[in-house]
Amino acid sequence: MRLQKAIANSGFTSRRKAEKLILDGKVRVNGEIIRDFIKVSDDDKIEVGNRVIKLDQERIYLKFFKPKNYVCTRAKFKNEKSIFDLLPKRFKDLKIGGRLDKDSEGLLLLSNDGSFILKTTHPRYETEKTYEVEFLSSISEENITTWSKGVKIFQEKFLPCSVKKLSDKKIKIILREGKKRQIRKIADFFGLGVKNLKRVSIGEVGLGKLKKGEFEIMQKLRF
Active site (catalytic) residues: 101
Candidates 23, 2, 5, 24; CA nearest to 15 is 5
List the Cα angle 135/136/141 in 5-degree steps.
Answer: 55
Q: Decide: 30 and 47 in contact? Cβ < 8 Å.
A: no
Q: Decide: 150 and 158 in contact? Cβ < 8 Å.
A: yes
Residue 129 exposure: Cα atoms within 13 Å on the Cβ side: 26
Rounded to 5 degrees, φ, ψ at 172 are: -110, 130
At residue 145, what is the residue type? T
d(Cα 58, Cα 210) in Å, to the nearest integer? 24
Strands 151-153 and 156-158: antiparallel
